[in-house]
Structure 1
Amino acid sequence: MKSHRWVLPVTGLLVIVLGVVFLALGLSRADQLASTIGAITGVIGLGLTVVTWLGQRQASPQTVSATRPDRPPNIVINDGKGFQIGDHNTQNNEY
């Protein structure tokens, strides 16, 4: 995992700088600037999301299931008390 220790200090610095800029501009102009910054940030975020999604779709090959399609895998959850999927498909709820 990469270390991103710089993200929090940079974010804090941006909040402080924008706060000072908004105080200097006054309420009306600060509102207009904040709306513009929010709209631009939203459009950029949407664009990056679409680009990332399309890149992952093209990069990942189609996966083939290792299990037989006519028989689902057995799933047993012991701590759930009353969960069993697969052979002997029963359900007992005792809590």
Structure 2
Amino acid sequence: MRRTLTAAAAGLLLVLGVGGVIVFLTGEGLDRAEKWVSISVGVISLLLGAFSAVLAWRSWKQQSPAATPAAGVQVTDSQGVQIGDHGTQHNRFGK
């Protein structure tokens, strides 16, 4: 219930925000509205680029858990068998 309420509130705020921007740009006239849109798009693209760079840096700094085998599993004990025409592979690890 709480998620539904939060999603509905977010949707309402989004609709009100877009409506406010449309009303504002309509009142500004075509020339000034074009300048506002250009500035807004530039700022939004810079913010998204910075956010993407931070996410990439943080994920690069963390070691992936899939990079190391699980405790007790020896890679040398693994066996793979391919069965059927569709290339289904069944793997067995350990003894």
How would you bin the TM-score normalised by the shorter chain? 0.5 to 0.7
Does the Cα contact within 8 Å between 1:72 and 1:86 map onto a contact in 2? no
- The 1-side partners of 2:88 and 2:20 are apart by 56
Matched with 2:22 is 19
Structure 1 unmatched runs, 5+: 88-95
Greater helix content: 2
Q: What is the root-mean-square deviation in Å for CA atoms of aligned residues?
A: 3.3
Residues 74, 86 of structure 1: 8 Å contact kept: yes
TM norm structure 1 = 0.63
How many residues align structurally? 82
Q: 1:85 to 1:30 in 2, by over 3 A?
A: same
Q: What stretches of structure 2 of length at least 5 have no aligned partner?
A: 91-95
Question: Could you say which residue in structure 2 is the equivalent of 1:57?
Answer: 60
| Offset of residue 40 of structure 1 | 0.6
Higher strand share: 2
Deviation at 1:19?
0.2
